[in-house]
Chain A
Amino acid sequence: MKILVAIKPVPNPDERVKIRKDGSGVVLDNIKMVINPFCEIAVEEALRIREKRGGEVVILTIGPKESEQQVRTALAMGADRAILVETTKELDSLGVAKLMAKAVEQEKPDFVIMGKQAVDDDNNQVGQILAAILSQPQATFGSKIEFSEDGKKANVTREVDGGLETIGVTLPAVITTDLRLNEPRYASLPGIMKAKKKEMKVIPADSLGVDASLKVRVLFLAPPKERAGGRKVADVAELVDKLKNEAKVL
């Protein structure tokens, strides 16, 4: 199977990002960029499918040249080659999906897999938009993927509000990942060495003839309301007293 995995670099999710004074964005100096955790899960899944069924895992990212670093990490995990659609322009989900669609048309993978959500913008949109543009089935929030013998269909178990749901999709399709799909491997040292020699095709976004002008424009960021937390109680008796007489929630 030929699998296209879309990945996005994001600031390390374990660090609390700070907002620039002028609200124009977040402070990224000293924050490590990593592969979006949901995309890492997508890479892992693609590798496991290739290990079982054979084929090729192609990494796709859309963004500035610096994204190369995270792409190399995905290659070091074991992906075969990569495509970087290069642009320094700010993009929204529609723009990203339209550029991706061009890459999909060129590569014609059996399916595309990506994260359900990028943990920087928290949009949860790109996979579904791409599926719409390609007129393909979509299976979002996947926590289990099983293929039919002939590899033409997949049953995807999805994490939904009421529990778990399974849908069947005919390939080609777009699948997005949830946390419980797998636990991604680390890049091994030999993997890192090999990754340096793997093919990374750079395509200038402007060459794809896509109108990716912004339809959702972020004007500014502001910090959320701070909570006045931090108070401690000495014991259970004080806790109950406070809940009853101060917070009045009992």
Chain B
Amino acid sequence: MADILVVVEHQEGAFRKTTLSTISAAKVLAGLIGGEVDALVLGQGVRSVADTVAAHGVRGVLLGEGEVFARYLAVSYAPVVAQLVNEKGYGAVLAPASTFGKDFMPRLSGLLDAPLASDIVGFAKEGNSLRVQRPMYAGNAVATVELVGSPLLFTVRQTAFDPAPKADAKAPVTPVSVTADPGGTTFVGREETRSERPELTDARVVVSAGRGIKSPENFKLVEQLADLFQAAIGASRAAVDAGWAPNDWQVGQTGKIVAPELYFALGISGAIQHLAGMKDSKVIVAINKDEEAPIFQVADYGLVADLFKAVPDLIAELKKLKSA
């Protein structure tokens, strides 16, 4: 059976946990179609990323280093992955359905003329054929799709697969000699959203606010609530569009998909596109002054109230509970 390759995501040397769910998905796939799971790390000075991945139950890690990979660019990633797939005969390639995977995996699909299923949430087998599940229509439908051709390409929804745990044995890390020519593409710069908080997609608790929060200053209130849980902060599109929150806080169909243990929706109406990003959370709390707001249909605990009154009360109650 042909083997499976996972392309590892990192932020210039900082490992991203998105990859761990992708490894899990690759293992589920291996269980169904056979083969072993390898990982590929591309970058510059990223040996530590390779070592981290090697400890999470893959057969081997391919490490491709070079100045040209110091900054991630789809134009340099896609051809290298294509080259390795051709040389080593991988039957499937998986990457996280983050902005990283969404950017270069379709380019890989175009280079290899190979089928790509985006944002997959499950695999199954029927007879001899592989069935893949993926959401469509803002999560209002789950499609079962079949891929024709080879290699099979997937981007994996992080929330749909548990992170691959640490394994007993460490996989060998093998350097591969690869290079790329980004041609007419250059990296110009990055404006990072810095935060001491956990990443939205990894956090146990997410506190999100929408247009109801009314001003950027009022996000202080959101932060105070988030602090009590070491939570990540999210936002609706309306709050991001208004410039009250950075773009990478947007939760939803076209932003980030989260599924924490506990999700707070503060002053968010619950549009289809927002629900698409959070309705798989374990427990959903909604605070909204409009009792008709659609967010209440998915909330486990809905509180019809003015958030500027309810949230400070909630913070006070939680503090009392903590000190008790």
| Chain A residues proximal to chain B, CB less than 8 Å | 11, 13-14, 16-17, 19, 26, 38, 92-94, 97, 116-117, 119-133, 136-138, 140-141, 143, 153, 155, 158-170, 173, 178-180, 213-224, 227-233, 235-237, 239-240, 242-244, 247, 249-250
Decide if B109 is an interface residue (CB 8 Å cutoff). Answer: yes
Residues of B within 8 A of A137 (CB): 75, 183-185
| Cα-based distance from A59 to B250 in the complex (angstroms) | 30
| Cα-based distance from A63 to B296 in the complex (angstroms) | 38
If A162-B192, A224-B142 touch, whether A249 touches B111 (CB-CB below 8 Å) is no
Is the Cβ of B190 less than 8 Å from the Cβ of A165? Answer: yes
CB distance from B119 to the nearest CB of A (A): 7
Decide if B102 is an interface residue (CB 8 Å cutoff). Answer: yes
Q: 27 A-B contacts, Cβ less than 8 Å apart?
A: A13-B138, A14-B272, A93-B106, A119-B137, A119-B254, A122-B253, A128-B74, A138-B74, A138-B107, A159-B99, A163-B247, A169-B184, A170-B183, A170-B185, A217-B147, A224-B142, A227-B284, A232-B301, A236-B303, A236-B317, A240-B317, A242-B301, A243-B285, A247-B262, A247-B301, A249-B283, A250-B321
Q: Please, which residue of chain B has its CB at the minimum distance from the CB of A232?
A: B302
Q: Please, which residue of chain A has its CB at the minimum distance from the CB of B119?
A: A122
Residues of A within 8 A of B310 (CB): 236
Is the Cβ of B300 less than 8 Å from the Cβ of A247? Answer: yes
Residues of B within 8 A of A244 (CB): 321
| Cα-based distance from A235 to B298 in the complex (angstroms) | 18
Residues of A within 8 A of B261 (CB): 249
If A168-B186, A216-B116, A224-B141 touch, whether A130 touches B110 (CB-CB below 8 Å) is yes
Q: Give 1 or 0 for each of B253-285: 1 = CB within 8 Å of chain A CB.
A: 110100001100000000111000001001111
Is the Cβ of A230 less than 8 Å from the Cβ of B296? Answer: yes
Is the Cβ of B190 less than 8 Å from the Cβ of A162? Answer: yes
Residues of B within 8 A of A233 (CB): 301-303
Residues of A within 8 A of B253 (CB): 119, 122
CB distance from A30 to the nearest CB of B (A): 16
Decide if B90 is an interface residue (CB 8 Å cutoff). Answer: no
Is the Cβ of B137 less than 8 Å from the Cβ of A94? Answer: no
Is the Cβ of B109 less than 8 Å from the Cβ of A160? Answer: no
Is the Cβ of A229 less than 8 Å from the Cβ of B99? Answer: no
| Cα-based distance from A134 to B166 in the complex (angstroms) | 42
Q: Give 1 or 0 for each of B229-257: 1 = CB within 8 Å of chain A CB.
A: 00000000100110000111000011010
Q: Please, which residue of chain A has its CB at the minimum distance from the CB of B121?
A: A224
Is the Cβ of A161 less than 8 Å from the Cβ of B303? Answer: no
Residues of B within 8 A of A165 (CB): 187, 189-191
Decide if B162 is an interface residue (CB 8 Å cutoff). Answer: no
Is the Cβ of B247 less than 8 Å from the Cβ of A236? Answer: no
Binding site of A, secondary structure by majority: helix, strand, loop or mixed? mixed
Decide if B69 is an interface residue (CB 8 Å cutoff). Answer: no
Within 8 A of A (CB), among B71-119: 73-75, 78, 98-100, 102-111, 113-119
If A122-B253, A239-B285, A240-B314 touch, whether A224 touches B139 (CB-CB below 8 Å) is yes
Is the Cβ of B140 less than 8 Å from the Cβ of A16? Answer: yes
CB distance from A179 to the nearest CB of B (A): 7
Q: Please, which residue of chain A has its CB at the minimum distance from the CB of B117?
A: A216
Residues of B within 8 A of A120 (CB): 136-137
CB distance from B303 to the nearest CB of A (A): 5
Is the Cβ of B107 less than 8 Å from the Cβ of A229? Answer: no
Residues of B within 8 A of A239 (CB): 285, 301, 303, 314
Decide if B146 is an interface residue (CB 8 Å cutoff). Answer: yes
Is the Cβ of A124 less than 8 Å from the Cβ of B272? Answer: no
Is the Cβ of A161 less than 8 Å from the Cβ of B304? Answer: no
Residues of A within 8 A of B102 (CB): 124, 140
- Pick the contact of A131: B99, B107, B148 (CB < 8 A): B107
Residues of A within 8 A of B303 (CB): 232-233, 235-236, 239
- Pick the contact of B301: A124, A158, A231 (CB < 8 A): A231
| Cα-based distance from A14 to B279 in the complex (angstroms) | 17
If A119-B253, A239-B285 touch, whether A221 touches B143 (CB-CB below 8 Å) is yes
Residues of A within 8 A of B78 (CB): 132
Q: Please, which residue of chain A has its CB at the minimum distance from the CB of B191?
A: A164
CB distance from B135 to the nearest CB of A (A): 7
- Pick the contact of A224: B100, B140, B246 (CB < 8 A): B140
Decide if B297 is an interface residue (CB 8 Å cutoff). Answer: yes
- Pick the contact of A160: B142, B149, B248, B279 (CB < 8 A): B248
If A26-B141, A240-B317 touch, whether A160 touches B185 (CB-CB below 8 Å) is no
Decide if B145 is an interface residue (CB 8 Å cutoff). Answer: yes
Residues of B within 8 A of A127 (CB): 106
Is the Cβ of A129 less than 8 Å from the Cβ of B106? Answer: yes
**Which of B118, B237, B273, B304: most chain A Cβ within 10 A?**
B118
Residues of B within 8 A of A169 (CB): 184-185
Residues of A within 8 A of B256 (CB): 161
Decide if B313 is an interface residue (CB 8 Å cutoff). Answer: yes
Is the Cβ of A143 less than 8 Å from the Cβ of B247? Answer: yes
